[in-house]
A and B are shown apart, each in its own frame.
Chain A
Amino acid sequence: MDESMMLDTKQYIIIKFDSEQYGISISYIDNIVRLQPITRVPHTQHYFLGIINLRGEIIPVMSMRKKFELPDKENTNQTRILILKLEGNNNNKIGILVDEVKEVVTLTEENIEKISSETADIKAYLSGVGKYNGTLISMLNIAALIADIDNE
């Protein structure tokens, strides 16, 4: 960890939707769990699938596909729920349902190109594009994603 700090690098979890890869800074990740029964909550935001029990704690789970307005896809054996912990408060955990968690990569700052976009779809939640082994990874801006939920 010390070494990577010195090189100004960060670790990212790579998740996949269809052929696209997205990166989430590992500092947000609390846990990665397999798909489990989700209890539906009526009359809530359309992208929230419901709530799950994570070792006695109730955690709301939202679908990234629904949030990003991607077409629905059946859950597979690869489907995972990423539990994100948000700054400061331990009680503010949120789960996101993703198609697949691929790997953890280490990127240096210079491998990430900052972008800014005003579009309403997934691109609104991107903070940059990273290059890794010849593939492109879109960096998710989790803070923006969460702030967006807060505002509703």
Chain B
Amino acid sequence: MDLSQYLDIFVEETKEHLNNLNDQVLILEAEPENIDTVNEIFRAAHSLKGMAGTMGFKRMQRLTHNMENVFSEVRNGKLNVNADMVDIVFKCLDAIEGYLNHIMESADEGTEDNDELIELLEGALAQSGTAPAASDEPEPVTVDKMGGSAAEASEAPAASGADDAKKKYKSIPIADFEKNAMVEAKEKGLHVYASTVYIQESCLLKSARAFLVFKNLEGKGDIIKSVPSVQDIEDERFDLDFSMFIITDKSIDEIKHLIENVSEIEEAVIEEYDVPDTVTETVAEEAHEEEHAAKGSAPAAKVEKKDEKHPAHTKPGKPVVNRSVRVDIEKLDDLMNLVSELIIAKNGLVAVAGDSAIQDQSFNEQIEYVERVTTNLHESVMKVRMVPIESVVNRFPRMIRDLSKKLNKEMELIMTGEDTELDRTVIDEIGDPLMHMLRNAADHGLESTIDRLKLGKPQVGTIRLDAYQDGNNVTIEVSDDGAGVDVEKIKRKAVEKGNITEEQAEYMSDKEAIDLLFMPAFSTAEKISDVSGRGVGLDVVKNKIEGLGGDVEVKSKLGEGTTFIVRLPLTLAIIQALMVDVCGEKYALPLNSIVTVEEIMPEDIKYVHTKEVINLRGSVIPLVRLNEVLDIEASECEEESEDQSLVAVIVKKGDKQAGLVISNLLGQQEIVIKPLGKYIRVPKMISGATILGNGEVALIIDSNTLV
């Protein structure tokens, strides 16, 4: 069997399990007695082991196997969780991530054996005084493969002993028609056997073995039901066992022999099946329905709650908790492109309808209808592409924990709004900048624990990451309650580095000084640590965020802390824009940065430092003549008479504003952002181009660069 086709799924799911493990181990560190967490960790480790084994990644399997053993002991109460153990487990998670990275690059796990880690794990295990083999017995955990009825099954062994525990078919609900078939068969003098087949743990091709079992039985009898379903078995969506019901005229030994003849089958438990009577039927019926509704959910109610919180964490190939489908991001991109095309075509239709003499009522109604549908379609596709930022930020608690140890500062991370959603392309890019800002907060922002105590601040520093949606933007704030930015220190540094002159430094506002932090190769860390302060820093963060169409702002109060405010657009591809005319050329201004549109009388224009400003409801706003910025030849522009009023679009960036002077307003439009191609040099103020309804191309102005 070619496993390469499963590689993507393997990588995705391993990532999910790793994230989950990181979360859970952090919880465990705080609450070592939390048995739910231990169970969760055990299950995730077990899944990882199984997946790695199936894919033939032996080294990864070995490591996860040892991890699973340790948690098996913890679960059985033979081993206590301590700080050393948590450290070892975190190291293991890093090692697994190492394997995963290797696998992503080369489809091979690499040659790192991680013997040291395995020894450490075995050392931890030795404290419990049991041999590692102890956990190799089939664990009750495997029963959660059996669907909704698993709860019943896990109770069964306690009641009727170990042998019955293996007869998993006992807990399988039988539907009416299946029961009828069985009764009918019995009437005809045929046998109905129930069997649970166990495959050896070392087996790599479980589905192939299961298939051989089915094939051997073919012609000897009818398999009327199997759990998991044949389809699931073919797709390898089962653990190490499956159960089935067979109607046949052959003897029980013959059937058992047929099954066990297949190599790598550990054992087949088989017996004549007593068709359940009507009393149990209703119960079974209910259970059956439940199975349909929540197939693959965890056995105990307690754990189920956990699973809701982490919908991604289910066993391989069974993400049924909320019904979902994995889709390649490229397919979504294609879909988005098609929607974009459709919107362009729709805009074309609207333009034709506006121009042409056909003023037919029903034609216009249809166009409006199409317009509504395309807008809804666009929203739906966008929603599909939205991912909660949780998938990015959930690795941060772990990072802060590690930083706390490394920097020897006590700190905690408080995150809110992890469910805020962003476009997948933005999500993919935002991780590094956020990580950088958090490291910055931990390293530069927070004072050392001793200093904090001296200052009378709480001993434990707080770093916050708050995300929320704000209109068409998503705002992510990274803040700390540390020392804040020392404006004078920055100015000194900037003068030292020759970024600004002494004179400039003197007249610089605090805000401008703080903005110096974003200059390339500017670090105020006195001491260069490997956490941050290597000179590549905030300028890279700023570039990345601006590349995503967003902006970043810093607020800081000396002694009280620093806040980085990152604003990101909800989506990159399609936006609402105000179309404007500048001396005959059409431009698009993204609506999300526009505050108002104002009419300005020439006498209201004042001059500050030879720059034009206006006083708008108490605030002084600089005017930007777009025709000058855009280098439009004066001859193209109508000579404006002295007393003619101007139209200015007031745009904002953070709390700064500017008025962009235009010739005419053309109206609001939904536009599709297109790149300008690789070869043409594009000034910073142009963020892309868009195609208008009549096929014309208009440039999109990034007003952030003009404020």
Contacts and interface: CB of A to CB of B under 8 A. Distances in A.
A39 B341 CA distance: 20
A59 B677 CA distance: 6
Interface string A20-58: 000000000000000001011111110010111100111
B150 to A, nearest CB: 51
The bracket for how many chain A residues form the interface is: 20 to 34
Interface string B664-707: 00000000001111111111001001010001111100000000
Interface stretch (A69-77, A89-97, A128-136): A89-97
Contact of B630 (A42, A50, A57, A149): A42
A48 B681 contact: yes
B223 to A, nearest CB: 51
A39 B680 contact: no
A150 B695 CA distance: 28
Contacts of B697: 39, 50-53, 58
Given A59-B677, A60-B677, A53 B696 contact: yes
Contacts of A91: 675, 677-678
Interface of B: 340-341, 344, 585, 629-632, 674-683, 686, 689, 691, 695-699
Given A39-B696, A43-B683, A53-B697, A92 B678 contact: yes
A18 interface: no
Nearest to B630: A42
A146 B677 CA distance: 13
A103 interface: no
B699 A43 contact: no
B679 A42 contact: no
A58 B585 contact: no
Contact of B682 (A41, A56, A94): A41
6 contacts: A41-B683, A41-B686, A51-B676, A51-B689, A58-B697, A60-B677
B679 A58 contact: no
A40 B631 CA distance: 10
A12 to B, nearest CB: 23
Contact of A51 (B340, B629, B680): B680
Interface in A72-124: 91-94
Nearest to B674: A58
A135 B585 CA distance: 44
Contact of B680 (A37, A41, A53, A56): A41
A55 B677 CA distance: 15
A108 B340 CA distance: 45
B695 A53 contact: yes
Given A53-B696, A56-B341, 9 more contacts: A37-B696, A41-B680, A41-B682, A42-B630, A51-B689, A58-B675, A58-B676, A60-B679, A146-B679
A45 to B, nearest CB: 5
Contacts of A41: 676, 680, 682-683, 686, 699
Contact of A40 (B344, B585, B676, B678): B585
Contact of A152 (B632, B681, B691, B699): B681
A62 B676 CA distance: 13
B691 A42 contact: no
Contact of B677 (A37, A43, A93): A93
B343 to A, nearest CB: 11
A58 B677 contact: yes
A150 B674 CA distance: 20
A42 B698 CA distance: 12
Contacts of A56: 340-341, 344, 691
A60 B340 CA distance: 20
A57 B697 CA distance: 10
B199 to A, nearest CB: 47
Interface string A136-150: 000000000010011
B342 to A, nearest CB: 10
Contact of A45 (B629, B678, B680, B689): B680
Given A52-B697, A94-B677, A94-B679, A43 B689 contact: no
B35 to A, nearest CB: 54
Nearest to B633: A40
Given A39-B698, A41-B676, A51-B697, A58 B691 contact: yes
A152 B674 CA distance: 22
Contacts of B681: 43-45, 48, 152
B680 A48 contact: yes
B339 to A, nearest CB: 12
A83 to B, nearest CB: 11
B665 to A, nearest CB: 19
A57 to B, nearest CB: 8
A44 B681 CA distance: 5
Nearest to A60: B680
Contacts of A50: 697
A38 B686 CA distance: 16
A70 B344 CA distance: 37
A51 B344 contact: no
Contacts of B676: 41, 51, 58, 60
Contacts of A40: 585
Contacts of A39: 585, 689, 696-699
Contacts of B691: 53, 56, 58
Nearest to B672: A56
A149 to B, nearest CB: 5
Nearest to A95: B677
A37 B632 CA distance: 17
A44 B677 contact: no
Contacts of B699: 39, 41
Contacts of B674: 57-58
A44 B477 CA distance: 36
Contact of B631 (A42, A94, A146, A149): A42
The 4 nearest A-B residue pairs measured at CB? A60-B680, A43-B683, A39-B697, A42-B631
Contacts of B630: 42
Contacts of A94: 677, 679
A62 B680 CA distance: 9
